[in-house]
Amino acid sequence: MPRKRLCILSRKKSLYSTSRLVEAARQQGAQPVVMDTLRCTLVVSPQGNSLLYRGEPMEGLTAAIPRIGASITTYGMAVVSHLETMNVPVPNPAASIARSRDKLRCLQLLAQAGVDVPRTVMATAGMKVRQLVDSIGGLPCIIKLLRGTQGVGVMIANTRTEAETIVQTFWGLGQDVCLQEFIVESSGRDVRALVVGDEVVGAMRRQARGGEFRSNIHRGGEGTSIQLDAHFQQTAVRAAKCIGLSVCGVDMLEGKTGPKVMELNSSPGFEGLETATKADIAGAIVRHSLSLSRKSEAK
Ligand SMILES: Nc1ncnc2c1ncn2[C@@H]1O[C@H](COP(=O)(O)OP(=O)(O)O)[C@@H](O)[C@H]1O
Ligand SMILES: [Mg+2]
C-alpha cells in the first residue's frame, strides 16, 4: 500500500494550526503535503481537471484539509472545489465554506433548520434604521459586517442615534450590514465548540477583557476549557451538519433559554483551544480527514 498523502491547504507552514496538522499527519503514518493555496494552478480541461503546484502536477492526494483565511476566500474556494472535482475528499466542501462565510446566509439556514440564533435583520441602503432596530427587539443592538472575523466589524449601538450613525457610515462605504439582537446575558462571553465529524472534540468559554463585549481571543479574550452540556453539544453538531461542515468552530452565545449560534468558522484556529483543553484537536481533524478517503474508496 502506498503511503497516504494528506494535503493541508495553507498559506504558511509555520502557522500553529498548520504545523500541528503536519505533526498529527506524521503521527498517523501519513505524509503531510502543505500547499500554499495561492500557488495552486487550477487547470480545467475536458480531459479531466488537474492541479499544478508551483508548476508541477500534483496527484495522488488521499484527502485535503482546507485552511482558507478570510482574505483569500474567493481563490481558496476555487481551489477546494477544484480538488472536489478531482475526487479528493475534503471535510469542508467549497459550497459549505461559502455558506459559512456569509453571516446572514449562515443564520438563515440555521434558523430554517430550527437551530436557535439571535434575531437578525439585514440592512441595505435606504432602509429606515428605526424600523430595523424595532424588528430585532430594540436597543441596545449589535451591528455587524456580513463578512468579518476576529471581532473586527462587530459594533454595539446603545442609542438610536448611534445605530443610525454606524449603519449610515457603512452604507456610505457601500457596505451592507446586519443588525442583531444583543444577547445581554451573554455579554462579554461566548462558547467555542470545535466539531469534528459527529462530535465536539473540545470546547472553551471565552471571556472578554475589561469592558469589551466581544470575547474573541484576537481582541484579548481569554479561553478556559469547559465540559459542554448535551444541549450545547447537540446544537453545535446540528449547526455544523446544517451548513455542511465536518470540521468547524461553532460560536454560541449563552442565552437564557440555551445556546444561540452566532457563526461557524470553517478554518478554525485551534491554538487557544489546544492550550485551554490539552486535547489533541489536530489529531482528531487528521483522523477524520483520512477516514473520508476510506469512505470514498468504499463507494
Ligand atoms: N448578538 C450578540 N450578542 C452579544 N454578544 C455578541 C453578539 N454578537 C457578537 N457578540 C460578541 O462579539 C464577538 C464577535 O462576534 P462574531 O459574530 O463572532 O464576529 P467575528 O466573526 O468577528 O468573530 C462574539 O464572540 C461575541 O462575544
Ligand atoms: Mg466569532
Q: Which residue has the cell 477544484?
A: 82
32 plus 65 within the same structural domain: yes
Q: CA torsion angle for 89, 90, 94, 97 (degrees, to 10)?
A: 160
CB 23 within 8 A of CB 34: no
Task: State if residue 142 touches ligand 1 by the CB under 6 angstroms criterion.
Answer: yes
CATH number of the domain encompassing residue 143: 3.30.1490.20
Task: State if residue 149 touches ligand 1 by the CB under 6 angstroms criterion.
Answer: yes
pLDDT of residue 193: 98
Give the nearest ligand 1 atom to 103 CA. 17
Task: State if residue 100 touches ligand 1 by the CB under 6 angstroms criterion.
Answer: no
Give the nearest ligand 1 atom to 215 CA. 27
Of 110, 178, 216, the residue with max ligand 1 atoms within 8 A of its CB, to mutate for a pocket test, comes to: 216
157 plus 171 within the same structural domain: yes
103 plus 242 within the same structural domain: yes
Task: State if residue 101 touches ligand 1 by the CB under 6 angstroms criterion.
Answer: no
For residue 126, tell me if it sits in a domain.
yes
- Tell me the pLDDT of the chain (299 aa) as tens digits: 679 999 999 999 999 999 999 999 999 999 999 999 999 999 999 999 999 999 999 999 999 999 999 999 999 999 999 999 999 999 999 999 999 999 999 999 999 999 999 999 999 999 999 999 999 999 999 999 998 888 899 999 999 999 999 999 999 999 999 999 999 999 999 999 999 999 999 999 999 999 899 999 889 999 999 999 999 999 999 999 999 999 999 999 999 999 999 999 999 999 999 999 999 999 999 999 999 987 777 66
CA 268 to centroid of ligand 2, rounded, Å? 10
pLDDT of residue 299: 62
145 plus 190 within the same structural domain: no
Of 139, 262, 263, the residue with max ligand 1 atoms within 8 A of its CB, to mutate for a pocket test, comes to: 262
For residue 84, tell me if it sits in a domain.
yes
For residue 276, tell me if it sits in a domain.
no
Write the DSSP symbol of residue 68: -
Nearest ligand, CA 206: 1
CATH number of the domain encompassing residue 64: 3.40.50.20
End-to-end CA distance of the chain: 19
217 plus 125 within the same structural domain: no
103 plus 207 within the same structural domain: yes
Calculate the alpha carbon distances from 266 to 70, 92, 160, 194 in Å: 10, 7, 34, 10
Domain count, the chain: 3
Domain residues for 169?
Answer: 120-182
CA 83 to centroid of ligand 2, rounded, Å? 27
Task: State if residue 136 touches ligand 1 by the CB under 6 angstroms criterion.
Answer: no
109 plus 227 within the same structural domain: yes
135 plus 236 within the same structural domain: no
- Which residue has a Cα nearest atom 11 of ligand 1? 214
55 plus 167 within the same structural domain: no
pLDDT of residue 53: 98
Give the end of a domain, one of 158, 182, 206: 182
Task: State if residue 251 touches ligand 1 by the CB under 6 angstroms criterion.
Answer: yes
pTM for this prediction? 0.96
Q: Which of 253, 70, 68, 76 is nearest to 146 (CA)?
A: 70
84 plus 52 within the same structural domain: yes
Q: What does the alpha-carbon distance between residue 74 and residue 30 come to, in Å, rounded to a whole number?
A: 29
65 plus 105 within the same structural domain: no
75 plus 212 within the same structural domain: no
Long-range contacts for 49-57 (Cβ within 8 Å, ≥24 apart)? 49/82, 49/85, 49/86, 50/86, 51/79, 51/82, 51/83, 51/86
